[in-house]
Amino acid sequence: MSGRVYLDYNATAPVRPEARAAALDGLQAGNPSSVHYEGRHARALMDKARRDIAGFIGGAHEGLIFTSGGTEACNMAAKLSAAPAGGVQRLVVSAIEHVAVSKAAAALGLPVQTLPVTPHGLIDVPALATVLQDPTPALVCVMLANNETGVVQPIEEISAMVRAHGSLLFVDAVQAAGKMPIDVAALGCDALALSGHKLGAPMGTGALWARDGLVTPPHMQGGGQELGRRAGSENMVGILAFAAAAKASGDTLTDFAAMAAWRDDMEAQLRAAFPELEVFGAEAPRLANTSSFSLAGLSSEMLVMALDLAGISVSAGSACSSGKVSRSHVLDAMGVSDDLSKGVVRVSFGWASRASDAETLVETWSRLAAKQKSSEKIVAE
């Protein structure tokens, strides 16, 4: 990416040097299921990685299951079935969940209730209270931070409600991890999903953490890996890189929080140039690195391509849609108008970003937006 400005960390983070070095160690590792020296050595490396990643979220290492990524972790979590009040009979899924959660929930054959959000992108807590008036045990799925807007949810408040109901709470923390402190005990969740490549590890590794006593149904059949919870030889390259990236992310959380100043200044400059600019989720707590904004009458597709040609990488929202720029279900849930939704751009900073990147984005986006608005005005006339 030499010479380019990369501002799409919420899609994936460039591999950190620490993760790259750990991945090389993984290439030399044996099979952790083997009983000889090489196997025992690999097992020791993997066990340390498990402890490190569990420590990264304040959880017990016995509850951490390595997966192929966040999507698999979310699919596994959707199958949790034994709540304190009895067997799970329904799922309650927020309207802004990643499709890895919403589609996994829909595929189970159980009733699925959609939990609305406010115009600011926060979970409608009174609506959740209404849903929980039904005593039927549920699996409630609420992400910690939204991948498109960066809005951070009040998980502690939500978990207290779910726990009092005798139901389970699953938290997708894929986007939040490495961008804010995470402590599963403080959050009060029953299960939590992570993904390595959002932290600066290679793609292809993630994890599901589940609290002690919570049975995680096997996702695949085969050998007895992961204490029988997930079959298949473990991805040593990805696991060691994941642990290294998690440690590096944890060590630099203070630096990450400082990115909020870059973002806020960027948004202020954009609003000064275009007073009608809308910043989604700006009135709610947000990840320090994320900004999602739009100007009515613009085209996301044209802006993303034009910025790309100018050497700046951004997105129009989630990157998990086969490269398509399509209407955002998150903005739909927030009640954003079609005209605004069509022109959204998401900017997300990360571990190798600089303050000058935000300045470059302001200058280039402003020029392109003014040009596009001018062209539309001419057409309209």
**Closest-CA residue to 238 (of 197, 191, 189, 298):** 197
CA distance 310 to 163: 50
Structure tokens given for 118: 């406010």
Q: Which helix (H) or strand (E) holds 238?
A: helix 236-251
Catalytic residue among 74, 141, 189, 320: 320
State the Cα–Cα distance between residues 289 and 355, nearest whole angstrom: 11
How many helical (H) and strand (E) elements, i.e. helices and strands, does the chain have?
14, 14
Residue found by looking up tokens 């600066």 in the block: 200
The HSE-up count of residue 91 (CA atoms within 13 Å, CB side) is 25
Per the annotation, the verdict on 141 as an active-site residue is: no
Both tokens assigned to 358:
């935000």
Q: What are phi and psi of 119, to 5 degrees?
A: -60, -20
**Among 85, 95, 172, which Cα is nearest to 132's?**
85
Q: Secondary structure of 283-337 in the HEC alphabet? A: CCCECCCEEEEECCCCCHHHHHHHHHHCCEECECCCCCCCCCCCCCHHHHHCCCC
Pull the structure tokens for residue 64. 């951490």
Residue in the block written with tokens 């979590």: 77
Angle (deg, nearest 10), helices 236-251 and 37-56: 30
Other beta carbons less than 10 A from residue 2's beta carbon: 3
Cα separation, 184 vs 181, in Å, equals 10
Q: Which residues are catalytic?
A: 320
